[in-house]
Structure 1
Amino acid sequence: MEPSVPTFSPYIVGGIYLALLPLIFVALFRYKDASTRFLIFALWLRYLLSAFHPFTYPPVAGGLSLNAIASIALTAIGFLVIERRLLLLKAFGGVYLVIVATMVSASINDPASAVGSLTKWGYFLVLTAAAFEALGRHGSSAVFGTLIVAFLPPLALQVLSVAMGLGKFSISDSSICYIGGYNHEAAFSIIMLTFLYCSFFLESDRPFLTAICVPIALMALLLANYRTSLLAAIPITVAAPLIGAVRRVSPTDRPFVLIVFALAGTMLFYAAAIVLQERFDDLFLTLANLSDLVKPPEYYTTSDEELLSARAVIWSRYVTSYLDGSILNLAFGFGPDSWEGVFTRYAHNTFISSLYESGSVGLVSMIVLFVSNIRFALRSVSQHRLLVVSAHAGFLILNLATMPLWLIEGNILLALTLAYTLHVQAPRRLRVSRMPRATAIPVLDRARLEHRVRQR
C-alpha cells in the first residue's frame, strides 16, 4: 500500500458494499448456471478486496496476501465450473505461449517466482472461458447488463471521495485523482475502463442503459485522472457512436456521416487538448523529442526524467539492465517479478517488462498474444468489427504506458474483451484446436447457439 493514499475507514467501505449487496444476490440468483454466477462473483469479490487494500495487500501466510489467496482460490474454482474443452480454444494459443516462456524463465532463474504469474494467467483463462460460456447462454446484453452491478460499489466510493475531498495528488504534477480510497489510480481507472467497455458491449438493444452508463464511466475516468486509461478509452468511445450513426443511415449517406464524424472528432479532440493541455503537455513534448530519449539512463537530464511521470527513464533503465545481462538472460530474461529489489518502480510497459523478465522469447510471446487478439478481432462479424478492434486497440494503448496484465483488474478487462470478441466471431472461427472438424465448441443451450458453432 502506498502510504500517501487517502483511504476510507473500513466501516465506510464495508457499509457501501453491504448496502449494495442485495443487488449482487439478485444478479447471482437470476442465473442458474455456474459459469455465469462465477463470472459475476469473481468481479464483485476482486473489486471488494481491492477496496480493502490496507488489509488485503500485505502478506498474511507464506508470503501470500489475501488478494493472492483469493485469486488462487477463484482460479481453482473456475477450473471446476467452466466447460474445460473451452481451454482448447485457438484464441488461447498466445496465452499458452506466454505461460511457457514464463515457466522457462522461472526454471532458469527462480522456479518459485512463477507462482504469481501463473496464477494471474490461470485466472485470466478461467474468467475468459466463463465469460464466453455466459455470453453464449444469455447474450451480451444480459451478461454485461448484469455485470454493471459489480461496478456500483467502486463508483459509490468515488462519488464519496469527491464529496469529501478525499483525492490523491499526482506525483508528477499538482493534479488530483479521485479513486474512491483505492490503492492506486492505475487499478481504479482500469476498473472504470472495464465499466466503460461493458457499457459499450451491451449492444443496440439496450440503448437506454448504454446512454446512462457511458457518460458515468467517462466521468469516472476523468475523475480518476490517470492519463493512460483516458487515452485507452478514446478508440472505443469514438468507434461506438460512429457505428450507431452508420447503422441508422442508408449506404449512400454513409460517406457524409463519416465526414461529419471526422470533423466533429477533430474539433472535440482539439477542445479536449486545450482543456487537458497541462495534464498531457509532457506527452506532446515526449512525442516531439522521441529520438532524443533513446539513450542510457545516465544521460537523462532532470527535465528528461520528469517526462511522462519518469516513464522514459524507467524504460531506459530496464532496457539497459537487460542488455547488460548474459546470453541466457538475453534469451529468457531474469525471471518473473525479478525487478523487485533491483528497481524501485515497475516497468510501466508490458512489453519492456516482458523483455526484462522473460527475455527476447518472452517479448516475442507477448507480441504474438496481442497480434492473435487483434487477428480474432478483425475476423469478427462486420457489424461488430470496428467496436471489437477499437476495444483491443485501447487495451494495447493501456499496455504501452502501464501494466494491466500485472493486475487482476487488467486480467478482468482483457478477459471480458476477448470473450466478447469470440462471442461475435463468424461461426467457422470458433473451432477448438486439435479436434475433429465436425466437433464444435460444447454449449448447453443448443437452440440459441448451434448456428454459431456448426462447422462450415
Structure 2
Amino acid sequence: MFLLVKILFAFISTILVYRAISRRCNKYLAFAVVALWLRFFLSAFHQITYDPLVAGFSINAIASIGIAGFGLLLVPRNVLSLKTLTLMYAFFASIIVSGLLNGNIVGLINVMVKWCFFLSLTGAMFMAIRKVGKDEVMRKMLVAFFLPVSLQVMSFLLGEAKASESDGSTSYIGGYNHEAAFSMIIASFTLVVGLISPKYIRFRGTLFLLGCFLLVIANYRTSVLAILPIAAIFAYNSMEAKIPQRFKAVFLISAFFGISLIFLLLSYSMQDRFADVFVFLTSIDDLIKAPMYYSDAEKDIFSARVYIWSQYLYVYSQGDWLHQMVGWGPESWSGRFPKYAHNTYVSFLFEYGLVGTVIFMLAVGSFLKHALRIKNRRFALMLFASMLGFLIMCFATMPLWNIEGLILYAILIGNTIAPVRLLQANESHAPAFFSKLVRL
C-alpha cells in the first residue's frame, strides 16, 4: 500500500525537480538540487537501493560516488582552494594519515568518498550563491525536499509508523530506513526554510513550523534537541523585526524569558521521551568511569549511549601514544565494538586521535567565527544558531558519518563561506547587542 504512495510522490517530485532546474537555474544550482533529490529519492526505496549490486557496492553507494566525482569536476579549482577551507583540508589530511598508518585502506576510501560528496556540494552551493544569491538558492533547493516531506506527512496520515530501534517508541519517517538519517533530512529542510529571508517565499513561517513538527514525529531526540536553537532564533528574528527600536531592550528581555518558558513547557510535555537526557545531565559525574563498572541500570541511560561512549574512551585511554595521537583509523570501530560511537567527538577521538579531533574543532570554530562576521546580522545569527544546533546533534549521534548529515553540514558551510556582498541588501540589521557580540 505505502509503496504505491512512494511511487506516486516520487513521480511528482521528479517533475517538480525537472521544472525547477530547467527554469533560470545555473549548472551549479542544478547540480546541488539534483544531488539532494537523487539521494532522497534512492533512500526512499532502500529495500532495493541498499543491497549490494556491483562489486559489493549498492545503488546508493554508486550514486554517491558518482555525485562526489562529478561535483569535484564541476566546481572550479579556485573554489576548492579557498583559504576558509584550509583547516578542513588539514582535517582530511589527518584522516588520511590515520588510515595509512593503521593500514585501514577500505575504511579510508569509504570516509573520503563521503567527504568528497560534502566538498562537491559545498563548492556547488558557493558558486550558486555567488551567482544568484542565497535566497534563490535556498528556494530552489526546497524542491528537493518535496519527496521526504510529503512521504512523512502521508505516513503520519496513513498511520505508517516504525518502532524506534532504541526504545520501541513510534517514529513516522515516511517509509525510509532509519529515523536518525531521516531526521537529518527534515532538519536540513527546516534549516533551508529558516535561512531564507522573510517574505521571499510564501508561507515561510508555516513551512518552518511544519519542519519542527515533522522532526518531533520522526522521534529522534538528538535532532529535536538540535533544532531548538534554530527555532528560538527563527522566532526571535520574526518578532524582533516588527518591534520599534525604542522597545528593543524590553523585547530582548521578554523574548529570553518567553523562550525559556516555552522550553520548560516542551520539556515537561515530552518528559517521558527525554527523561534519560535529564538523568544524564544530572548524574554526569557518576558516569565518568570505565565500562566494566557500569550497573545494568546505568547501561540503559540515554539509550545506552553513555555506556557506549565509555567503551570507546576506555580503549582510547589504554592505547599507546601513537594511537592516542592519530587514532585507530577511519571506521576502525567496526569489528571492535558492537555499535558505532553515537557521538561524533568520541568517534573522531578514537578513529583520528587527538590530532584529528583538535583540527576538526579548530575548523568548526573558524566557521562559527566566519558566520558571525556576515554583514546581515539576522542571517548571521540564524546561521550561528544553526551551527550550534548541529554541534549539539554531533554530541549524541554521528551526522558526519552518513551522507544525509553531510548534506546538512554542506548547507551550513556553503552559506557560511559564500561571498557576504551577495546577501540580500534589503534585509535589516539585527539589534546593536548582536553587533557587539560579533566584534568580540
Query: TM-score by structure 1 length?
Result: 0.88
Gaps of 5+ in 1: 1-6, 431-456
SS of the residue corresponding to residue 337 of structure 1 reads coil
Alignment match, 1:149: 143
Structure 2: distance between partners of 1:354 and 1:264: 37
Q: Is the 8 A contact 1:351 1:366 kept in 2?
A: no
- Note the C-alpha offset of 1:265: 0.9
Pairing 1:311–2:302 present: no
Alignment match, 1:394: 389
Alignment match, 1:47: 40
Pairing 1:238–2:232 present: yes
Counterpart code for 1:358:
Y
Aligned counterpart for 1:117 among listed residues 111, 123, 126: 111
- Note the C-alpha offset of 1:8: 4.7
Q: Is the 8 A contact 1:304 1:313 kept in 2?
A: yes
Pairing 1:229–2:252 present: no
With 168-177 and 341-350 compared, the bigger mean Cα shift is at 168-177
Alignment match, 1:345: 339
Structure 2: distance between partners of 1:419 and 1:115: 24
Aligned counterpart for 2:203 among listed residues 206, 209, 212: 209
- Note the C-alpha offset of 1:278: 0.5
Alignment match, 2:270: 276
Pairing 1:296–2:290 present: yes
SS of the residue corresponding to residue 348 of structure 1 reads coil
Residues matched between the structures, number: 421
Structure 2: distance between partners of 1:175 and 1:363: 34
1:72-221 aligned at under 5 Å gives the runs 72-109=65-102, 110-206=104-200, 208-221=202-215
- Note the C-alpha offset of 1:301: 0.9
Structure 2: distance between partners of 1:225 and 1:193: 12
Pairing 1:405–2:400 present: yes
Alignment match, 2:281: 287
Q: Is the 8 A contact 2:195 2:379 kept in 1?
A: no
Gaps of 5+ in 2: 424-440
Pairing 1:71–2:64 present: yes
Query: TM-score by structure 2 length?
Result: 0.92
Structure 2: distance between partners of 1:139 and 1:425: 10
% same residue: 36
Alignment match, 1:384: 379
Q: Is the 8 A contact 2:145 2:189 kept in 1?
A: yes
Alignment match, 2:434: none
With 371-380 and 347-356 compared, the bigger mean Cα shift is at 371-380
Structure 2: distance between partners of 1:299 and 1:29: 61
Alignment match, 2:359: 365
Q: Is the 8 A contact 1:404 1:410 kept in 2?
A: yes
Counterpart code for 2:252:
L
Counterpart code for 2:413:
L
- Note the C-alpha offset of 1:209: 3.2
Aligned counterpart for 2:412 among listed residues 407, 413, 417: 417
- CA-based RMSD of the aligned residues comes to 1.8
Structure 1: distance between partners of 2:194 and 2:324: 41
SS of the residue corresponding to residue 420 of structure 2 reads coil
SS of the residue corresponding to residue 60 of structure 1 reads strand
Please list the CA deviations of residues 89-121 of structure 1 after superposition, one character each: whole Å capped at 9, or x if unmatched.
Answer: 222122211110110011011223211111111
Q: Is the 8 A contact 1:246 1:254 kept in 2?
A: yes
Aligned counterpart for 1:255 among listed residues 228, 245, 249: 249
- Note the C-alpha offset of 1:207: 5.6
Please list the CA deviations of residues 242-297 of structure 1 after superposition, one character each: whole Å capped at 9, or x if unmatched.
Answer: 12332333332101111221221122112101110101111111100000000011
SS of the residue corresponding to residue 53 of structure 2 reads strand
Q: Is the 8 A contact 1:332 1:361 kept in 2?
A: yes
- Note the C-alpha offset of 1:302: 1.2
